[in-house]
C-alpha cells in the first residue's frame, strides 16, 4: 500500500516537474562545417610547416655548399696558382688573397674579404659592411684558427661569417666570406606567403562547400523536426512526409510508426474511459432512481429496493474489479511465475467449472508438461471461458476442457456446442467492452475475454477462437514453452 502511494506520488511529481530548460546548442550543420574547417586548417598548416622546414634545410645546405666551393677554389689557387705579375708562385699571402678576390665573382648574397696585416684589406664587392667594427669584431677572433659564426647585420638580417686562415712562413692572413642568409630566406618567405593566401582561400572554399552540402543533406532532418514540433497531442493524425530513400527517410518512417501507435493508444484510452464511464453510469442511474422513489414508510418496499440495490452495487464492484485487473495486467508484478503442471490444472478447472451449470462436462485430453506460469491467473482465464460457454449453451449441451503440448507450444482450451462465434466477430469480442450476440438479460460487460487475452499476453502467449465442429466455439490459449529451461529446476514454494 505504502509502495503504491509512493508510486502515485512519484508520478504526480514527475508530471509536474519542470522540464529542464532547452538550451539550443550549435546545430549539426555548424558543427560539421567547424570540424571540416578545423581539419582543413590543420592539414594545410601542417603541409606548409613541412614544406617550410624542408626548404629552409635545403637553403642552408646550399649556402654551405657555396662556401665550400669558394674555399676549394682558394685552396687550388694557394697550391698551384701563379702570381699574375711575376708569373711565379705567390710569395705573399696578401697578393694571393687579392688575386683570388679579383678573379672570383662573388654570388649576390656574398662578400669576399681579404684579411692581412691584421686588418680587412679588400672586399669584393666593395661593401661598407667590410669596414665596420661589427665585421672586425666578428672576424678577428677567428683569423688564426678559422671557423664560422652567425651574426645579425643591421639592415640585412642574419649573416654567416666564415673565416679560412691562409699562412705562409712569414705572413698570416685569411679569407673571410660573409653570406647574407636573409635574401634567400626572403624568397622562401614570399613563396610561403603565397601558399598561405592560397591555403586560406581553399579553406574558405572547402568550409563554404561543407556548410552548403551539410545544409542540403540535413534539410530533411530540419523538416522532420519542424513538423514534429507542429504535431501536438490533439492532432496526432498528422504524419511526416516520406521522401527519398536514405536513413533520414527510415527515421521518418520510424517516427510515423511511433505516431501510429501513439494515436492508437490515445484513441484506445479515450474509448476505454468512455465505455467504462457509460457502464458505470447505468447502475448509478438505477441506484439513484430507486432511492428517489423509495417510500421509506413501507418495509416491504425498503427490503425489495435494498436487495435490488445490493445487486447493482455488486455489479458495479465486479466491473471495477475487472477494470482494476485489466489495468494491473500491464504491470510487471501481475504474474507470479511458478512451474505449472498443465494436466493437473486442466483437471482442476474442469472440477471447479462443473458447479457453473448443468452441462455435459467433458475432459478432452491433458498435456503432460510443466510450463512456467501463474497457476491462479491461468485458472481464472479458463474459468472465464467456461463461464462464457455456460452462458452460450443450454442445459445438457457439452462443454469440454482440455490441454495439449506439441514440444513447442502448450494449448489450453474450452470447447462448447453452443452457437459459436461468427468469423466477422472474432476480433471484436476480444476487445475491451467488445460483445457480439448476447442473450437478453445478460449482465456481462464484455471484459471477460479482454481479461483472458491480457493473461495470455502477459504469459507471452495469445488467445484465439475457432469453430468446434460440428457446432460451437473453441477458445484456445496458446502458451510458448521454451525448449531450454526445465521448469523442475524451480523449487516449489513452501506455502
Ligand X SMILES: Nc1ncnc2c1ncn2[C@@H]1O[C@H](COP(=O)(O)OP(=O)(O)O)[C@@H](O)[C@H]1O
Q: To which H or E segment does residue 158 belong?
A: strand 157-167
Question: Of 61-69, 162-170, 305-313, 416-424, which part binds ligand X (CB under 6 A)?
Answer: 416-424
Does 177 contact ligand X by CB under 6 A? Answer: no
CA distance 265 to 267: 5
* Residue 383, C-alpha cell as written in the block: 474459468
Query: Which residue blocks in 81-132 are alpha helix, DSSP H?
Result: 93-103
CA distance 309 to 287: 6
CB 342 within 8 A of CB 405: yes
Residue of 250, 303, 310, 438 interacting with ligand X (CB under 6 A): 438
Question: Which of 252, 388 has the CB closer to Mg ion?
Answer: 388
Question: What is the three-class DSSP state of 167?
Answer: strand
Residue of 70, 279, 397, 416 interacting with ligand X (CB under 6 A): 416
Q: Is the dihedral of CA 448, 453, 454, 459 positive or negative?
A: positive
User: 376-395 mask for Mg ion (x: CB under 5 A)?
Assistant: ------------x-------
Question: Of 9-17, 51-59, 76-84, 385-393, which part binds ligand X (CB under 6 A)?
Answer: 385-393
Q: Please, what's the b/e burial string for 128-160 (b: 16 or more CB within 10 A of its CB; e: otherwise)?
A: ebbeeeebeebbbebbeeeeeeeeebeebeebb
Does 444 contact ligand X by CB under 6 A? Answer: yes
Question: Which of 448, 472 has the CB closer to Mg ion?
Answer: 448
Question: Of 74-82, 111-119, 172-180, 414-422, which part binds ligand X (CB under 6 A)?
Answer: 414-422
CA nearest neighbour of 74 among 151, 169, 183, 162: 162
Question: Which of 156, 361 has the CB closer to ligand X?
Answer: 361
343 binds, among Mg ion, ligand X, none (CB under 5 to 8 A by kind): none
CB 166 within 8 A of CB 174: yes
Question: Which of 70, 397 has the CB closer to ligand X?
Answer: 397
Which residues, including other chains, have CB under 8 Å from residue 353's CB and lie 6 or more apart?
361, 382, 383, 386, 390, 399, 401
Question: What is the three-class DSSP state of 159?
Answer: strand
Residue of 305, 388, 403, 417 interacting with ligand X (CB under 6 A): 388
Does 418 contact Mg ion by CB under 5 A? Answer: no
Does 453 contact Mg ion by CB under 5 A? Answer: no
Question: Of 113-121, 225-233, 431-439, 486-494, which part binds ligand X (CB under 6 A)?
Answer: 431-439
Does 115 contact ligand X by CB under 6 A? Answer: no
Residue of 448, 451, 454, 479 interacting with Mg ion (CB under 5 A): 448
Does 421 contact ligand X by CB under 6 A? Answer: yes
Question: Which of 392, 459 has the CB closer to Mg ion?
Answer: 392
Question: Of 67-75, 259-267, 368-376, 418-426, which part binds ligand X (CB under 6 A)?
Answer: 418-426
Does 450 contact Mg ion by CB under 5 A? Answer: no
Please report where in the chains the cell 665596420 appears, as a residue: 132
Cα 95 to Cα 92, 100, 116, 145, distances in angstroms: 5, 8, 10, 21
429 binds, among ligand X, Mg ion, none (CB under 5 to 8 A by kind): ligand X
Task: List residues binding ligand X (CB under 6 A).
Answer: 388-389, 392, 416, 418-421, 429, 435-438, 444-449, 473
Task: List residues binding Mg ion (CB under 5 A).
Answer: 388, 444, 448
Amino acid at each position: 500500500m505504502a509502495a503504491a502511494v509512493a508510486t502515485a506520488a512519484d508520478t504526480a511529481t514527475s508530471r509536474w516537474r519542470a522540464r529542464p530548460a532547452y538550451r539550443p546548442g550549435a546545430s549539426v550543420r555548424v558543427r560539421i562545417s567547424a570540424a571540416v574547417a578545423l581539419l582543413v586548417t590543420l592539414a594545410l598548416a601542417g603541409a606548409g610547416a613541412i614544406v617550410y622546414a624542408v626548404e629552409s634545410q635545403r637553403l642552408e645546405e646550399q649556402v654551405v655548399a657555396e662556401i665550400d666551393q669558394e674555399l676549394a677554389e682558394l685552396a687550388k689557387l694557394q697550391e698551384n696558382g701563379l702570381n699574375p705579375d711575376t708569373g711565379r708562385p705567390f710569395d705573399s699571402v696578401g697578393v694571393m688573397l687579392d688575386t683570388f678576390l679579383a678573379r672570383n665573382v662573388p654570388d649576390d648574397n656574398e662578400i669576399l674579404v681579404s684579411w692581412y696585416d691584421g686588418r680587412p684589406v679588400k672586399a669584393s664587392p666593395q661593401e661598407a659592411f667590410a669596414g665596420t667594427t661589427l665585421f672586425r669584431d666578428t672576424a678577428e677572433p677567428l683569423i688564426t684558427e678559422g671557423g664560422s659564426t652567425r651574426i645579425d647585420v643591421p639592415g640585412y638580417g642574419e649573416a654567416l661569417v666564415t673565416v679560412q686562415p691562409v699562412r705562409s712562413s712569414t705572413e698570416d692572413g685569411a679569407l673571410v666570406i660573409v653570406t647574407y642568409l636573409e635574401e634567400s630566406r626572403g624568397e622562401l618567405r614570399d613563396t610561403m606567403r603565397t601558399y598561405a593566401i592560397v591555403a586560406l582561400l581553399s579553406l574558405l572554399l572547402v568550409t563554404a562547400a561543407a556548410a552548403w552540402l551539410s545544409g542540403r543533406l540535413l534539410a530533411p532532418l530540419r523538416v522532420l523536426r519542424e513538423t514534429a514540433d507542429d504535431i501536438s497531442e490533439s492532432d496526432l493524425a498528422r504524419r511526416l512526409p516520406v521522401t527519398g530513400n536514405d536513413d533520414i527517410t527510415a527515421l521518418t518512417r520510424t517516427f510515423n510508426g511511433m505516431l501510429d501507435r501513439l494515436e492508437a493508444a490515445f484513441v484506445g484510452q479515450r474509448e476505454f474511459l468512455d465505455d467504462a464511464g457509460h457502464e458505470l453510469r447505468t447502475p448509478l442511474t438505477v441506484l439513484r432512481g430507486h432511492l428517489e422513489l423509495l417510500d421509506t414508510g413501507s418495509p416491504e418496499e425498503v427490503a425489495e429496493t435494498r436487495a435490488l440495490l445490493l445487486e447493482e452495487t455488486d455489479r458495479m464492484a465486479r466491473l471495477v474489479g475487472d477494470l482494476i485487473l485489466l489495468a494491473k495486467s500491464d504491470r510487471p508484478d501481475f504474474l507470479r511465475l511458478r512451474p505449472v503442471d498443465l494436466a493437473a490444472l486442466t483437471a482442476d478447472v474442469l472440477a471447479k467449472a462443473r458447479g457453473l451449470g448443468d452441462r455435459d462436462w467433458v475432459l478432452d485430453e491433458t498435456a503432460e508438461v510443466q510450463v512456467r506460469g501463474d497457476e491462479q491467473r491461468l485458472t481464472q482465464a479458463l474459468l472465464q471461458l467456461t463461464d462464457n460457454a455456460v452462458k452460450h449453451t443450454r442445459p445438457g449441451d457439452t462443454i469440454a476442457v482440455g490441454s495439449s503440448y506439441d514440444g513447442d507450444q502448450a494449448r489450453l482450451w474450452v470447447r462448447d456446442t453452443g452457437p459459436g462465434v461468427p468469423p466477422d466477430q472474432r476480433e471484436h469480442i476480444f476487445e475491451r467492452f467488445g460483445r457480439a450476440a448476447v442473450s437478453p438479460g445478460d449482465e456481462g460487460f464484455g471484459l471477460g475475454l479482454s481479461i483472458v487475452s491480457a493473461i495470455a499476453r502477459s504469459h507471452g502467449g495469445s488467445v484465439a477462437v475457432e469453430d468446434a465442429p460440428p457446432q460451437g466455439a473453441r477458445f484456445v490459449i496458446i502458451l510458448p514453452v521454451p525448449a531450454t529451461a526445465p521448469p523442475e529446476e524451480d523449487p516449489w514454494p513452501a506455502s
